Chain A
Amino acid sequence: SQQGEEDPQALSIQEGENATMNCSYKTSINNLQWYRQNSGRGLVHLILIRSNEREKHSGRLRVTLDTSKKSSSLLITASRAADTASYFCATDSLSGNTPLVFGKGTRLSVIA
């Protein structure tokens, strides 16, 4: 079963616009990570945010985490056609060494 749920399932925007994707999860976590997957390729790690952090930036990416609501958001600013991909959130759990649990992903299309 999958812990996270991304929202929306699909998003289509124009190049230059900002894209916001949301992730909700069910159990308490240590960390939340976002990954990108281009069609037919493996996953690329984007950013990790720890449970005691509320916001983190990396280049055009901004991630927020609200542990009280068990949710996270990924904002991509000034989107480019090359940002077209599926984006997944992945969580661990507080119960010890556990592997990542992924959501179903948001499919982002950036139209040039």
Chain B
Amino acid sequence: GAGVSQSPRYKVAKRGQDVALRCDPISGHVSLFWYQQALGQGPEFLTYFQNEAQLDKSGLPSDRFFAERPEGSVSTLKIQRTQQEDSAVYLCASSLDFGGAGTDTQYFGPGTRLTVL
């Protein structure tokens, strides 16, 4: 079946531009996660949703970052007024349920590589 898909795969933005990154989770997956991965580093948690509810956004680095999942399926991560330090790969993952810390396998998309010039 189809896995997690993300679009665009690559995005180049000029500093100060707004960007929107899309994630299509696996159909039926309740939980959706966003991670940021800097070059040579492991992914770092940004935010997660259970259905349409954003239950944790503690990892969002600033109020320029905003995520939504209005119908409990597709999610969009928006970054306003992009800065060079926002350059990273943004990974989306979904799991069938968030039934307990880390107990459900998270399936990752290929990521969106954002470069801010």
B103 at the interface (CB under 8 A from A): yes
Q: Let me know if B109 is at the binding interface, CB within 8 A.
A: yes
Could you tell me if B4 and A98 are in contact, using CB atoms closer than 8 angstroms? no
Which chain A residues lie closer than 8 Å to B43 at the CB level?
A: 43, 88, 102
Q: Which of A11-19, A62-70, A75-83, A89-97 contacts B (4 or more CB under 8 A)?
A: A89-97
- B91 near A96 with CB under 8 A, answer no
A-side interface size class: 20 to 34
Question: Which residues of chain A come closer than 8 Å to B91, judged between CB atoms?
Answer: 42-43
Tell me, rounded to whole Å, the shortest Cβ–Cβ distance linking B58 to chain A.
Answer: 9
Which residue in A4, A43, A92, A97 is a CB contact (below 8 Å) of B108? A43
B41 CB contacts on chain A under 8 angstroms: 2, 104-105
Query: Contact residue range for chain B?
Result: 20 to 34
CB of B42 within 8 A of CB of A98, answer no
Q: Which of B55, B101, B108, B113 contacts A44 (CB 8 A)?
A: B108
- Determine whether the beta carbon of A42 is less than 8 Å from that of B108: yes
Distance of B5 from chain A, by nearest CB (Å): 10
User: Is A48 an interface residue, CB under 8 A from the partner?
Assistant: yes
Residue B115 at the chain A interface, CB threshold 8 Å:
no
User: At the interface, yes or no: A85 with Cβ under 8 Å from chain B?
Assistant: no
Q: Are B105 and A93 in contact (CB under 8 A)?
A: no
Contact B102 A88 (CB under 8 A): no
Expressed in whole angstroms, the Cα–Cα distance for A106 and B74 within the complex equals 32
Contact in complex: A90, B102 (CB < 8 Å):
yes
Pick the residue among A35, A40, A99 that contacts B56 (CB under 8 A): A99
Q: B65 interface residue, CB < 8 Å from A?
A: no
Q: Is the CB of B98 within 8 A of A45?
A: no
Contacts of A43 in B (CB 8 A): 43, 91, 93, 108
Q: Can you give 9 contacting A-B residue pairs, CB < 8 Å?
A: A2-B44, A30-B103, A33-B102, A42-B111, A88-B43, A95-B101, A97-B98, A104-B40, A105-B42
- The list of the 6 closest CB pairs from A to B, nearest first, reads A92-B102, A102-B42, A92-B101, A42-B108, A43-B108, A99-B45
